[in-house]
Amino acid sequence: MSSNQEKDSEKSRSFIEILGDTVSEKQLIVSVVLSVAVSIGGYKLGQWVFPKFADAQMVNSYSLLLGIAGTVGILFLNSYLFRPKRVLVEDEVSAENMEDVFADLQLDAEEEIRLIHEDPVTKKELEELGVLENFKRKEGTR
């Protein structure tokens, strides 16, 4: 498969956003079905196995624990099978980049600068990240 075909197939894949993360619909459905099947399967297995050697009043509790253990196990399997596909690109932050970001997020730059001056914790964090200088330059251009 050529690289253009790969890019086209990648674009044609359907993605949705859940809890702030973008995921493939197909992989989401597969992971949900696997999780539900293993959870219920673990519970039903416990209902069948535990009566043979556990107290009758503890069978439901043990079965529930087996179902939960299966859920945790399938969580690790799903995270291995469906690794993140995002690519993080770190650009150097500059005053020009910040203007674009403020415009994209529909933020008021002057309000953000005022809030930074009022909050010493935020100010210190921005200094440590090396971003505060860009805010100061932006403030100086007002």
Q: Residue 45 half-sphere exposure, CB side, CA atoms within 13 Å?
A: 12
Taking only the tens of pLDDT, the chain with its 142 residues reads 444 555 555 555 688 888 777 788 899 999 999 999 999 999 999 999 999 988 999 999 999 999 999 999 999 999 898 887 676 666 666 666 777 777 778 877 778 878 888 888 888 888 887 777 776 676 665 5
Q: Give the model's pLDDT for residue 113.
A: 79
What is the structure's pLDDT at 142?
Answer: 53
Helix (H) or strand (E) holding 97: helix 95-105
The whole-number pLDDT of residue 94 equals 62
DSSP string over 11-27: HHS-EEEETTEEEEHHH
C-alpha–C-alpha distance, residues 53 and 138, integer Å: 72
CB neighbourhood size of 38 (10 A) = 21
Distances 53 to 34, 41, 49 between C-alpha atoms, Å: 29, 19, 8
pTM, full prediction: 0.55
